[in-house]
Amino acid sequence: MKKTKVGIVGCGMISDTYFKASQKFRMIEVVACSDIIPERAQAKTELYGVPNMSNDELFAMPEIEIVLNLTPPQVHSKIAMDTLNAGKNAYSEKPFGVDADDAAKVIALGQSKGLRVGCAPDTFLGGGQQTARKILDDGWIGKPLSGTAIVMGRGPEKWPQAPFFYDYGAGPMLDLGPYYMTALVNLLGPAKSVTAVTTRGSDFRTIGDKVAEQYQDMVQPFGQYPVTVTTHLTGVVEFQCGAVITVIASFDVYKHGHRPIEIYGSEGSMQVPDPNTFGGPVTVCRKGDKEWHDVPLTHTYTDNSRSIGAADMAIALRNNRPHRVNGSLANHVLDIMLSFDKSSKAGCKVELSTTCERPKPLPLGLEVGELDD
Ligand SMILES: NC(=O)c1ccc[n+]([C@@H]2O[C@H](COP(=O)([O-])OP(=O)(O)OC[C@H]3O[C@@H](n4cnc5c(N)ncnc54)[C@H](O)[C@@H]3O)[C@@H](O)[C@H]2O)c1
């Protein structure tokens, strides 16, 4: 099979996962990489044998059809615009952007140029989330009525890059919310409204013994750095299908006992696995049952397969079908996430201005490396 050529822009921490996981997909091949810090791209050339160059040189390579944008959230929209203006399809790491207007411009540019736009997470194509989707679609728990999506912890407060996670463009919602909100839209379809109260537990955090280079002017080992975003967001997302999901995303919690996602339906309940992973477990308790039962996973891709969304885009381009991990899904997820702070500030329910199609499920019986035509 002729492979679709892919370029990676941004050779930081997550890029290793993409360099490695993309090798399992027979329809894509990473042929170039770049980073604003050239040594970082050079290091990936040494590890993976992929030539490195400047962003402009990468955008100018005619054989590249898809650019994987693995830069920090604040530059996602700009790199996506540069990609589209270079005539290439744009696939970004999450979140789709940090500003709704900039994100909308990316969608509009993609449409006007007839190019594809996509954005992580693609974990909802993993075996765990696809099994949960099949259980819902097959009616095991009846009509979904309500549920919970809960992601809580202290956040990566001691990491060398910690200040990033507590600053504009991150926080628990923009950093981890994409996994949860995308999983919910995959299960339930698009949302209608968000009603939320958001807050933060403290104005400063203390870093660990290592400080990343870019923060060394601002903070010393074990020193304090500022928290500029809300770090505890609690709210209700109302879906167009009628289900209402209670959502908590927090960096202010030491320990809790909640499952990542639970869906309660007219005929039973389902526990959905961590949407930041590809695997299970999926458990179900149906009307008449006393206990939860493990459901065997029905779908392939149960280990880390980040880049499956780009692989699906490559097949979709070739066969002129919609790609699943697409811009309108990511833009809708961004709208949901940004609406938490918006609702809290306004003191009222926010009706969402975006919507999207519920992505088509993956078929059963795929081999690893394969996707449907
Ligand atoms: N690290 C993780 O575990 C992880 C997991 C899932 C998703 N993500 C997402 O992946 C993205 C990148 O995260 P990361 O942890 O790899 O960050 P990182 O800071 O380690 O890497 C980002 C890289 O992008 C480069 N960069 C910045 N601006 C650039 C530009 N204009 N052109 C080219 N390169 C540029 C930086 O120099 C850096 O090397 C983020 O959106 C993050 O949310 C990260």
Regarding the domain delimited by 4-119, which CATH topology (the fold level of the hierarchy) does it fall under?
Rossmann fold (3.40.50)
Of 60, 100, 102, 58, the residue nearest 80 (C-alpha): 102
With the C-alpha atoms ordered 99, 74, 72, 50, is the resulting torsion angle positive or negative? positive
Residues 306-335: what's their mean pLDDT? 98
Q: What residue ranges do the domains of the chain occupy?
A: 4-119, 124-295
The best mutation among 35, 56, 164, 333 to test binding of ligand 1, ranked by most ligand atoms within 8 Å of the C-beta, falls on 35
Q: Cβ(152) to ligand 1 under 6 A?
A: no
Q: Cβ(52) to ligand 1 under 6 A?
A: no
Per residue in 217-253, pLDDT (tens digit) is 999 999 999 999 999 999 999 999 999 999 999 999 9
Structure tokens at 229: 């975003």
Q: Cβ(156) to ligand 1 under 6 A?
A: no
The best mutation among 13, 69, 98 to test binding of ligand 1, ranked by most ligand atoms within 8 Å of the C-beta, falls on 13
User: What per-residue confidence (pLDDT) applies to 86?
Assistant: 98
Residues 49-75: what's their mean pLDDT? 98
Model pTM above 0.95: yes
**Domain 124-295 indexed as CATH 1.20.1250.20:** no
Instruction: Report which protein residue has its CA nearest ligand 1's atom 44.
Output: 14
Residues 295-308: what's their mean pLDDT? 97
Ligand 1: centre distance to CA 76 (Å): 9
Structure confidence at residue 1 as a pLDDT band (50, 70, 90): confident
Could you identify the atom of ligand 1 that is nearest to the CA of residue 14? 16
On whether the CB atoms of residues 102 and 334 are closer than 8 A, the answer is no
Burial code (b: 16+ CB inside 10 Å, e: under 16) for 59-81 equals bebeebbbbbbbbbbbbbbebbb
Structure tokens at 197: 């109260």
Express as a percent the part of the chain with pLDDT over 90: 99
